[in-house]
Amino acid sequence: MNHIPSKRCRERVLAFRNALLALILTMPGIPAANAACTFADGVSTQTYTFDIPTINVPRDAAVGSVVYASPRQQAQPATGSYATCVFQVSYSYGVTGAPLVANMSNTYATSVPGIGIRFFDSKGPGGGQQYWGPNNTGSYTGSGSETHSANGGDYYGIELVVTGAIGPGTITPTASGVYSLGGLTISVLQTTSGQIVAQTCQVITDPNIDLPDIAASALSSTGSTAGRTRFDITLANCPPQLHAIQYRLDAPGGVINAAAGTFSVSETSTVKGVDLMVTDDSDNPFALATAHTLSQYNPSTGGTYPIGFNLKYYRTGAVSAGMLQGQLTYTVSYQ
């Protein structure tokens, strides 16, 4: 004869089943969904420090130029597992302690104007860089052991890159790269402080050029010249290891013919029919508003380089005697 349990018996059976279910769910070795990763035995967060040396940077280096790439460091442990992950796990290769540079992906500002920093990992010591940043995140289904050894091994590094007009200064180590996986901080990339030197030459020149007095008859016809006077712009103590040095002259008062080196006198001049011409050291027309490369520059040694010019009166019309003034500006750029 079937026995129907009393209400109290049913409650006891239900309580026993609930207790058994709780025991099964809390037994070790049976992970819950979305479980965090766990470090392998003897493994913890690894920190990698990259030394930034004193770096000489051309003052006018192009935006995006890499001015320093660190030696790469192999992720540890180089063999074996560093963590165990199962089910769906998230990962992130991010950067903390510095703001992103506008319009430059995965590049972060440093304490030096015009210099940014990038953190990256690669497969093998010479593999392509995967830069760390806000979009380098994702998730995947873990399959057990996580290792750094696949495909030539994981390596880490940093780069310093030009982000704008460069100023000298010290990079303070505020930015860090952080690799996180399933709730664990696997790797932290940090730097030492480093010095940035904006490389330039010392420019030496006499700001005033005195042309001789001449008679109006010395300028016999339109296009004729007279009163040639030499002047120099010396680029002194130029550093080595620049790609190139360029210089140019511009005429704020107006250019007559840039290729011929002719330009207008200042409005304060009282002379009529006379303007000015600039020529190079060999007395050939010096093109205005044009970058000229310093061909004498030796990138192996640097050095001091005088650049010779000549300034002359240049007849442009009917001559009427008077006082003459003019102005040229010079610009030196470094690559």
Give Cβ neighbours of residue 182 (< 8 Å, ≥ 6 apart): 36, 37, 83, 85, 89, 90, 91, 142
pLDDT in tens, the chain (335 residues): 444 444 333 343 334 344 333 433 334 443 444 457 999 999 999 999 999 999 988 888 899 999 999 999 999 999 999 999 988 999 999 999 999 999 999 999 999 999 999 999 999 999 999 999 999 999 999 888 999 998 999 999 999 999 999 988 999 999 999 999 999 999 999 999 999 988 889 999 999 999 999 999 999 999 999 999 999 999 999 988 888 999 999 999 999 999 999 999 999 999 999 999 999 999 999 999 999 999 999 999 999 999 999 999 999 999 999 999 999 999 999 88
Kindly report whether the global pTM for this prediction surpasses the value 0.95. no
- The whole-number pLDDT of residue 9 equals 34
Phi and psi angles of residue 30, each rounded to the nearest 5 degrees, phi first: -115, 95
**CB burial class (10 A; 0-12, 13-18, 19+) of residue 272?**
middle
Under 8 Å between Cβ of 331 and 250: yes
What confidence tens digit (pLDDT) does each residue in 59-92 have? 888 999 999 999 999 999 999 999 999 889 999 9
Domains of the chain (ranges, CATH numbers): 38-199 (2.60.40.3310), 202-334 (2.60.40.1090)
Measure the CA–CA gap between 313 and 274, rounded to whole angstroms: 7
Closest CA to 154 of 123, 181, 119, 118: 123
3-state secondary structure of 284: coil
Strand ranges (DSSP E) for 97-191? 108-109, 115-123, 130-131, 137-147, 154-162, 169-171, 176-181, 184-191
Under 8 Å between Cβ of 216 and 272: no
- The whole-number pLDDT of residue 18 equals 42
Give Cβ neighbours of residue 50 (< 8 Å, ≥ 6 apart): 70, 73, 157, 158, 189, 190, 191, 192
Tell which phi-psi region holds residue 97, choosing left (phi > 0), alpha (psi between -120 and 50) or beta: left
Closest CA to 71 of 122, 6, 130: 122
| Residue 68: strand pairing partners | 160
- The whole-number pLDDT of residue 58 equals 85
What confidence tens digit (pLDDT) does each residue in 162-175 have? 999 998 899 999 99
- The whole-number pLDDT of residue 8 equals 37
- The whole-number pLDDT of residue 59 equals 82
Phi and psi angles of residue 11, each rounded to the nearest 5 degrees, phi first: -65, -40
Measure the CA–CA gap between 154 and 148, rounded to whole angstroms: 5
Taking the chain, what is the end-to-end CA distance rounded to the nearest angstrom? 101
- The whole-number pLDDT of residue 39 equals 97
- The whole-number pLDDT of residue 142 equals 86
Instruction: Spell out the SS3 assignment of 34-67.
Output: CCCCEECCCCCCEEEEECCCCEEEECCCCCCCEE
What confidence tens digit (pLDDT) does each residue in 223-259 have? 999 999 999 999 999 988 888 999 999 999 999 999 9
**CB burial class (10 A; 0-12, 13-18, 19+) of residue 90?**
middle
